[in-house]
Amino acid sequence: AGPTSPPVAILAQGFAGPFPLNPIRRLFCAPFRTKMDDHGESIYNIIPPKPIEPERPLQHRSKHSGTIPPTASTFHTKSTTHPATSNFDGNHLEKPVPDKEARTFGKIPGSYKNHPGTYMKKNEKTGPVATLSEARRMNPDFNKPSKLKESHKPGVPKADEAPVMNLVTSKNFIVANAVETILAAPKKVSEGAKDYLHKEDYGKTPKYLTHIKRDIEREYDYIRALEQQHEDLNKPMVRPLDEQERLGLIDGLKAKWEQVNTEYQATTHLTKLDTIGKIKRKEKYEAELSQIEKDIEKLNRQNIHVNAAC
């Protein structure tokens, strides 16, 4: 075989591994080892070497929780502008701000779907229905009728109420029927057509017309009552004014007139109304005096009626 033959190279490499070679053989096998090393092929690579795990150094673990805020923390000022601190002693065991999971975009799509294994089962909400025997055992009065239906059939005869049997009669029913037929009085035959002129209610108003007329009158009375009620509700409620009340109103208006007139006379010495306030005040006093005089004139009339709803 030539110097590049694979069997020779493998054999030479095999002998070069576990057994020592002399310099001549090592020189002879050197080209083959260099060639095979380029391809990475070796019988020793069939079984991979055992991995060596490096020893991990001891890790420092703090006695304080890593999920709580540090001392004098301001992390809990979420959604507020008030500068406050917390956990001054460093022993805070609860989170000052609770976790808010899925508060913005919600959970991932499909999280709210029902699980196929958690479907609603039979009687899951209501429970099983008790049988008739169980219901009667728990409640003896269950399914008992409150009122028995009246029976229209006769009761079953008792044993001592049995009829007398095997009775024989000597009556001849054929002869008896013939004798009864012969001795029976003949039927009365009508002499002609009925004479309706001799009826009891001839020429009188039928009873059904009287009933219909009475029903119509009741309907008319009901309609008139509704209309009268509607008129009473819409009609203004008026009442005559009492004499004492009328005199009291007149006295009150006169006192009011004296008061307004006194205030009005206090401004009559002004010969020049140079401001808008003076003009408006004078016009107001004159209008009030005129209105009070009109009211007193109306109350001096006779037969005054007022609206009771006001």
In the chain, domain spans? 6-45, 206-235, 238-307
User: Average pLDDT of 151-175?
Assistant: 88
> What gap in Å lies between CA 275 and CA 268, rounded to an integer?
15
CB neighbour burial string for 160-199, b if at least 16 within 10 angstroms, e if fewer: eeeeeeeeeeeeeeeeeeeeeeeeeeeeeeeeeeeeeeee
Q: Give the pTM.
A: 0.28
Compute CA distances 310 → 71, 175, 200, 287, whole Å. Answer: 75, 102, 65, 24
Please tell me the number of Cα atoms within 13 Å of 133 on its side-chain side: 0
Q: What percent of the chain has pLDDT over 70?
A: 79
Q: Which of 42-46, 53-57, 205-209 has the lowest mean pLDDT?
A: 42-46
> What gap in Å lies between CA 175 and CA 163, rounded to an integer?
28
Does residue 95 register a pLDDT over 70?
A: no
Does residue 19 register a pLDDT over 80?
A: no
Q: Return the pLDDT at 73.
A: 74
Nearest to 65 by CA among 98, 90, 96, 99: 90
Q: Return the pLDDT at 228.
A: 92
H-type helices in 88-206, by residue range? Answer: 132-138, 173-183
Q: Return the pLDDT at 217.
A: 96
